[in-house]
Chains A and B, each alone.
Chain A
């Protein structure tokens, strides 16, 4: 390669496109510096800086859209990055997710008396990884971004060092995560090798780039090496999403991880996985549709059924959220499969993710408040009489769970509706049947939880079993928390009643 080539490559390095990511990394580093400079009693300042810094970032991004949301696609860094309207939405999604995780972390870490700075800093770095991940259009960048996310999560999952559950979860996540990365890498290498093979028709020079790979695969759609490679790559991503049969780590890790990290895994990590899966099957693997549609459909059906059936008898709410999250991954997979034939399904998936974010963080926020000293021990029974003890939290929980269950007029219903419409247009009737079974099953555990929280429990007048527990943990909610949780709930309802957001998304 001569100098000219490097020059053209350098010309395409538009760092300005990555300003939000650079800002977040800078903020994460600043927090670490503050930690060194300030004394322990000033630590609240760090939390404030972290949270307001991210709010400011969202504000700045909103300001940059004042002339209109970007509707075109931009390629930069000589094809490493590809920015589309959908990735723009996802970047904002991840920053909001990070902000909410920091917010939940604020409550949680105070309760558990754990160091805060590292938590916030790692959260932001992981978020940057996700933001790069959804924009990447080349396998090396893709893998590096994915590993940034995964390595960050290894630390976060085991963050509560005193809890054996957290350590166990960390170890499990480490081993299985490393395995999945290996599978993913193996698949990438397969594709790299076969696409660069000069004896095959249409071989390409840069076989790691998504666009070139797509052109190669379009000419060799039935090459066994391509099929194996694609399957391995998808398997690696499916692990992050928690799709069947790579879902087995979810309940243990979700239970053991600190609750804010569980929320982070459940929402942002899953969203990143689903979005990446979608850009893979629509990008490089688009030509494999006759192979991928049946494969992914089977996976989706099994994921939905597995998630819902295993969640049915679950009493631990963190495991419940994990297992029902598997079911949600299954519904999202329907959207992924539909997006191969119906273009607007991309936005249906993004919309579903947004409603999922709003509802899930509401529920996790309530969980953090209700949880006792032992974070991994959160049973449905602990929610008895929440309606009397804390009507506000009970309301947030009810709206959040009902939205997850897809009850109109909440946002979750509109999300499911759009996915179903997309699936109808793509002709995926079998998947719809599975989804219906799943939704009906999910009513049992979601409403079972609501029932514990809201409906009166009969108690014999002498019995004082669970009352004492309730009195031992008076739940206090600060004003900031009220505003945030109330805001999430209000948004869930507002999106359900006036889904104008849909129109904006579909217009992109």
Chain B
């Protein structure tokens, strides 16, 4: 096991051990707790950054770099702890690092009671997240996801807001159903392939030579689609998400909505689509309609929200629809766009949850109609919030833009009418996003708020809040201006499994999309099209 592979393992183990330490030893002094927690949150991000720079030159094992394999005692069933990163998992591994640190800083600066327990659960969640995206073995892929999921329930139950007890149970039941369905799908994949291995590489190689029959493929894909779909809040299985996020403590909501929810999409991109192409085709049309349901119906529901957290929760459900639409198109551009959007959305939704709590601390309410006039009192908070809203709408300059743009381009080839429906989503999200900004930051504060502010002057973003917001924000901007830092790798690993459109078609498609895409012709996600990045940046600005 070489140095970089050890780092990959450490990125999982350090937060886990940190969490267990905090769980096991009570009455540690505050500074020790802070130190352990900060180490646990910072090390994964540092490792992610290091591995990113090592990525190009690293030795490959069947498309995976930093490959390592350990036996945990289930080798009878072909289950081994196999770790590695490829182009698809790299951005998400990175995402988990950034959001984890941001959520950790938020938690360290929050006023939650029993903070040691809170931090330890968050660290366990962080370890699970790093493990999910670094796993090559599909059993451990699932295992780490559940490891990250369990702390969420406890955190909602203990530190949650209004309605936490019922929200925690509802979420537990719903997500268990999703997890169980996807587990069944994964086991079925394992037993249908008949090679007695949960190793994704082995299954992939085997299925490449002996593809499954179409019926089997579509059955397995159906299980995986609905199992993962529930976890990603695919319409109409989304009802747990807004309620759960509204009740969850901020750090948990950031990690769950930002990173953990991407597990299902990641599973579809990494496992289901490459291995079961015919199954994907079979379910494609239905998935398109459901995804449009996410975009349009949930979009309209989001518009009707008055509660800030509910609105952010619903908007995150809505944006998942775009990711699904990217998958439906089944070509490298659309799927690549979905991966980039997963990255961008993870950062922007975490930022929005962070800032919503910050707003709450200054107004003591989540009801947006009761707020107002915060912009003059807390300009930095306002600026951050506006930027986060823009990112979430998908304006150029942020990572989300490139994701949605690529998805739209390939959606045009797939079904122009779907594109029309999906594009209305942009308008919808602009409406609710900007209206929320207007309600919260501009206009006159309500009388109750005026009263409240007489005694407690609204304070500007604190150091900790500022730090974690900046972290998330810089991630959004960097990928917004230089999407190629991830898109080349994503593309590299997607092209073998997804049909690449000939460049000519892409050009006509993007030309037709002139108005919504500001006339830029470069399809960044398709690395085959050479583009001048700096010119890209100009346009984006």
- Whether B176 contacts A439 by the Cβ 8 Å rule is yes
Residue B146 at the chain A interface, CB threshold 8 Å: yes
> Which residues of A have CB within 8 Å of B153?
447
- Whether A408 contacts B158 by the Cβ 8 Å rule is no
Interface size class on chain A is 20 to 34
Residue A402 at the chain B interface, CB threshold 8 Å: yes
Residue B154 at the chain A interface, CB threshold 8 Å: yes
Chain A 42-80 against B: per-residue CB contact (8 Å), 1 yes, 0 no? Answer: 000000000000000000000000000000000000000
Chain B 129-167 against A: per-residue CB contact (8 Å), 1 yes, 0 no? Answer: 000000000000011001100100110011000001100
Select from chain A the residue with minimum beta-carbon distance to B154.
A454
CA distance A488 to B60 in the complex (A): 42
> Which residues of A have CB within 8 Å of B158?
454-456
Residue A248 at the chain B interface, CB threshold 8 Å: no
- Whether B157 contacts A455 by the Cβ 8 Å rule is yes
> Which residues of B have CB within 8 Å of A432?
184
With A424-B187, A436-B181 given, is the CB distance from A409 to B147 under 8 Å?
Answer: yes
Residue A497 at the chain B interface, CB threshold 8 Å: yes
- Whether B176 contacts A443 by the Cβ 8 Å rule is yes
Residue A369 at the chain B interface, CB threshold 8 Å: no
- Whether A503 contacts B76 by the Cβ 8 Å rule is yes
CA distance A180 to B190 in the complex (A): 41
With A402-B150, A421-B190 given, is the CB distance from A499 to B181 under 8 Å?
Answer: no
- Whether A407 contacts B146 by the Cβ 8 Å rule is yes
- Whether B184 contacts A436 by the Cβ 8 Å rule is yes
- Whether A417 contacts B187 by the Cβ 8 Å rule is yes
Contact pick for B73, options A420, A448, A456, A498, CB 8 Å: A498
Min C-beta distance of B267 to chain A, whole Å: 15
> Which residues of A have CB within 8 Å of B169?
443-444, 447-448, 451
Contact pick for B165, options A418, A444, A451, CB 8 Å: A451
Select from chain B the residue with minimum beta-carbon distance to A441.
B173
Residue A502 at the chain B interface, CB threshold 8 Å: yes
Within 8 A of B (CB), among A7-50: none
Residue A500 at the chain B interface, CB threshold 8 Å: yes
Residue B499 at the chain A interface, CB threshold 8 Å: no
> Which residues of B have CB within 8 Å of A506?
76
CA distance A456 to B168 in the complex (A): 13
Residue A440 at the chain B interface, CB threshold 8 Å: yes
- Whether A408 contacts B180 by the Cβ 8 Å rule is no
Residue B449 at the chain A interface, CB threshold 8 Å: no
- Whether B154 contacts A440 by the Cβ 8 Å rule is no
Contact pick for B157, options A440, A451, A497, A503, CB 8 Å: A451
Residue A175 at the chain B interface, CB threshold 8 Å: no
CA distance A500 to B72 in the complex (A): 7
Residue A501 at the chain B interface, CB threshold 8 Å: yes
Chain B 45-83 against A: per-residue CB contact (8 Å), 1 yes, 0 no? Answer: 000000000000000000000000000111111000000
> Which residues of B have CB within 8 Å of A454?
154, 157-158
- Whether B73 contacts A500 by the Cβ 8 Å rule is yes
- Whether A424 contacts B188 by the Cβ 8 Å rule is yes
> Which residues of B have CB within 8 Å of A407?
146, 150, 176
- Whether A499 contacts B72 by the Cβ 8 Å rule is yes
> Which residues of A have CB within 8 Å of B147?
408-409
Residue A425 at the chain B interface, CB threshold 8 Å: yes
Min C-beta distance of B180 to chain A, whole Å: 5
CA distance A439 to B168 in the complex (A): 17
- Whether B187 contacts A421 by the Cβ 8 Å rule is yes
Within 8 A of A (CB), among B184-202: 184, 187-188, 190-191
- Whether B76 contacts A424 by the Cβ 8 Å rule is no
> Which residues of A have CB within 8 Å of B143?
408-409
Within 8 A of B (CB), among A440-462: 440, 443-444, 447-448, 451, 454-456
Residue B423 at the chain A interface, CB threshold 8 Å: no
Chain A 367-411 against B: per-residue CB contact (8 Å), 1 yes, 0 no? Answer: 000000000000000000000000000000000001000011100
- Whether B168 contacts A451 by the Cβ 8 Å rule is yes
- Whether B74 contacts A499 by the Cβ 8 Å rule is yes
Min C-beta distance of B195 to chain A, whole Å: 13
Within 8 A of B (CB), among A467-508: 497-503, 506-507
Contact pick for A425, options B180, B181, B191, CB 8 Å: B191
Q: Please classify the interface of chain B as helix (H, G, I), strand (E, B), loop, or mixed, using the class held by over half of its residues.
A: helix
With A424-B188, A440-B176 given, is the CB distance from A502 to B157 under 8 Å?
Answer: no
CA distance A146 to B183 in the complex (A): 38
With A409-B143, A451-B165, A454-B158 given, is the CB distance from A503 to B75 under 8 Å?
Answer: yes
CA distance A413 to B158 in the complex (A): 24
With A451-B157, A455-B158 given, is the CB distance from A502 to B76 under 8 Å?
Answer: yes
CA distance A443 to B169 in the complex (A): 8
> Which residues of A have CB within 8 Å of B154?
454
CA distance A192 to B309 in the complex (A): 71
> Which residues of A have CB within 8 Å of B187?
417, 420-421, 424
With A421-B191, A499-B73 given, is the CB distance from A440 to B146 under 8 Å?
Answer: no
Min C-beta distance of A204 to chain B, whole Å: 38
- Whether A455 contacts B168 by the Cβ 8 Å rule is yes
CA distance A402 to B172 in the complex (A): 12
Min C-beta distance of B329 to chain A, whole Å: 31
- Whether A502 contacts B181 by the Cβ 8 Å rule is no
- Indicate the member of A408, A439, A448 with the most B CB atoms within 10 Å: A408
With A447-B153, A500-B73 given, is the CB distance from A409 to B173 under 8 Å?
Answer: no
CA distance A414 to B184 in the complex (A): 13
Chain A 225-265 against B: per-residue CB contact (8 Å), 1 yes, 0 no? Answer: 00000000000000000000000000000000000000000
- Whether A497 contacts B150 by the Cβ 8 Å rule is no
- Whether A501 contacts B73 by the Cβ 8 Å rule is yes
Residue B177 at the chain A interface, CB threshold 8 Å: yes
> Which residues of B have CB within 8 Å of A455?
157-158, 164-165, 168
CA distance A440 to B173 in the complex (A): 6
Min C-beta distance of B28 to chain A, whole Å: 16
CA distance A311 to B533 in the complex (A): 61
Contact pick for A503, options B73, B180, B184, B191, CB 8 Å: B73
CA distance A65 to B153 in the complex (A): 43
> Which residues of B have CB within 8 Å of A456?
158
CA distance A408 to B164 in the complex (A): 23
- Whether A420 contacts B184 by the Cβ 8 Å rule is yes
Min C-beta distance of A60 to chain B, whole Å: 27
CA distance A425 to B187 in the complex (A): 10
Min C-beta distance of B175 to chain A, whole Å: 9
> Which residues of A have CB within 8 Å of B165?
451, 455
- Whether B77 contacts A421 by the Cβ 8 Å rule is yes
> Which residues of B have CB within 8 Å of A448?
169
- Whether B173 contacts A444 by the Cβ 8 Å rule is yes
> Which residues of B have CB within 8 Å of A443?
169, 172-173, 176
> Which residues of A have CB within 8 Å of B184?
420, 432, 436
Within 8 A of B (CB), among A412-430: 413-414, 417-418, 420-421, 424-425
Select from chain B the residue with minimum beta-carbon distance to A444.
B173
- Whether B146 contacts A502 by the Cβ 8 Å rule is no
Select from chain B the residue with minimum beta-carbon distance to A495.
B73
Min C-beta distance of B524 to chain A, whole Å: 38
CA distance A498 to B142 in the complex (A): 16
CA distance A443 to B168 in the complex (A): 11
Select from chain A the residue with minimum beta-carbon distance to B77.
A421
Select from chain A the residue with minimum beta-carbon distance to B139.
A417
Select from chain B the residue with minimum beta-carbon distance to A405.
B176
CA distance A440 to B170 in the complex (A): 11
> Which residues of B have CB within 8 Å of A503?
73-76
Min C-beta distance of B132 to chain A, whole Å: 12
Min C-beta distance of B409 to chain A, whole Å: 39
> Which residues of B have CB within 8 Å of A408?
142-143, 146-147
- Whether A440 contacts B177 by the Cβ 8 Å rule is yes
- Whether B180 contacts A440 by the Cβ 8 Å rule is yes
3 shortest A-B CB distances, which residue pairs?
A500-B73, A408-B146, A455-B157
Can you name 8 A-B residue pairings with CB atoms under 8 Å?
A407-B146, A407-B150, A418-B77, A421-B190, A424-B191, A439-B180, A451-B168, A499-B72
Q: A454-B158, A502-B74, A503-B76 are in contact. List 4 more A-B contacts (CB 8 A).
A: A421-B190, A443-B172, A499-B74, A503-B74
